[in-house]
């Protein structure tokens, strides 16, 4: 069954007097449990597509469905609910809340969902252990390295067991070793938890992990191919 269906998505941006095409009649279907990389140069539309799938940005036209939810028909509140319950986000700049500790950042989404404190504590402890941050739960973002911060962001994205994780350039600020560890973690979550991953990147090391690689340019999909032997975790 398809996890995401996008049909004829169009999106333009005004930049001064110039109209820039973000998405140009993009149609795509992504299966549940898939591991997809969107690649392409800057301005190719991969982030715009990712944001549209996550309900963060509204396309000018076209339809988007995530599971059985018609994203393009939702208002601000229901869109926020969808993101809260179905989607985990990982951003290039980590985007942790600086006044909260690693554990509190991870618990934040569960807190917004209204989960009880003991359950939040148990899950955050488990998930931080899973991403290799045991013993660092009470550190604030400023006391963590870039790789550690990104792990916290990943932990936050998956703690509420979303069906879909959208990651925008997750390795851009990481060294190669840390980036490798992060991708191993993504693959493991994909394999063991069945979470669908859609990752926007132009990092070839990341692309090597993808089961399906979609290339974009000028807001269009120029190639869409399944990789025969993606990198996996041993």
| Chain positions contacting other proteins, by CB under 8 A | 51, 54, 56-57, 76-77, 80-85, 87, 89, 91, 95, 97-100, 104, 108-109, 112-113, 156
CB of 114 to other proteins, least distance (A): 11
When the beta carbons of 31 and 119 are compared against other proteins, the nearer one is 119
CB of 113 to other proteins, least distance (A): 8
How far from the centroid of its chain's Cα atoms is residue 212's Cα? 15
Cβ contacts of 229 within 8 Å, gap of 6 or more: none
When the beta carbons of 75 and 135 are compared against other proteins, the nearer one is 75
CB of 118 to other proteins, least distance (A): 16
When the beta carbons of 131 and 153 are compared against other proteins, the nearer one is 153
CB of 77 to other proteins, least distance (A): 5
When the beta carbons of 84 and 208 are compared against other proteins, the nearer one is 84
CB of 87 to other proteins, least distance (A): 8
CB of 184 to other proteins, least distance (A): 24
Label each residue of the chain as H, E or C.
CEEEEEEEEEEEEEECCEEEEEEEEEEEEEECCCEEEEECCCCCCHHHHHHHHCCCCCCCEEEEEECCEEHHHCCHHHHHHHHHHHEEEECCCCCCCCCCCHHHHHHHHHHHCCCCHHHHHHHHHHHHHHCCCCCCCCCCHHHCCHHHHHHHHHHHHHCCCCCEEEEECCCCCCCHHHHHHHHHHHHHHHHHHCCEEEEECCCHHHHCCCCEEEEEECCEEEEEEECCCCCCCC
When the beta carbons of 85 and 125 are compared against other proteins, the nearer one is 85
When the beta carbons of 38 and 210 are compared against other proteins, the nearer one is 38
CB of 112 to other proteins, least distance (A): 5
167 neighbors 197 (Cβ within 8 angstroms): yes
> What distance separates the 2 farthest-apart alpha carbons in the chain?
54
When the beta carbons of 52 and 221 are compared against other proteins, the nearer one is 52
């Amino acid at each position: 069954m398809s996890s995401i269906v996008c049909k004829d998505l169009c999106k333009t941006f005004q930049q001064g007097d110039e109209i820039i095409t973000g998405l140009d009649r993009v149609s795509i279907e992504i299966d549940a449990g898939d591991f997809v990389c969107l690649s392409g140069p800057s301005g190719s539309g991969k982030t715009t597509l990712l944001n549209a799938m996550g309900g963060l940005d509204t396309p000018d036209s076209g339809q988007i469905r995530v599971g059985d939810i018609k994203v393009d028909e939702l208002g601000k509140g229901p869109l926020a609910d969808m993101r809260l319950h179905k989607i985990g986000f990982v951003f290039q700049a980590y985007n942790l809340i600086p006044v909260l500790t690693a554990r509190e950042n991870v618990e934040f989404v569960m807190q917004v969902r209204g989960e009880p404190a003991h359950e939040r504590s148990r899950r955050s402890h488990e998930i931080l252990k899973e991403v290799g941050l045991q013993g660092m739960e009470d550190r604030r973002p400023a006391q963590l390295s870039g790789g550690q911060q990104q792990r916290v962001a990943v932990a936050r994205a998956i703690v509420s067991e979303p069906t879909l994780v959208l990651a925008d350039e997750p390795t851009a600020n990481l060294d190669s070793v840390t980036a490798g560890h992060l991708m191993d973690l993504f693959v493991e979550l994909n394999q063991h938890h069945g979470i669908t991953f859609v990752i926007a990147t132009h990092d070839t090391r990341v692309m090597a992990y993808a089961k399906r690689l979609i290339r974009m340019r000028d807001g269009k999909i120029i190639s869409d191919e399944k990789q025969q032997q993606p990198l996996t975790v041993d």
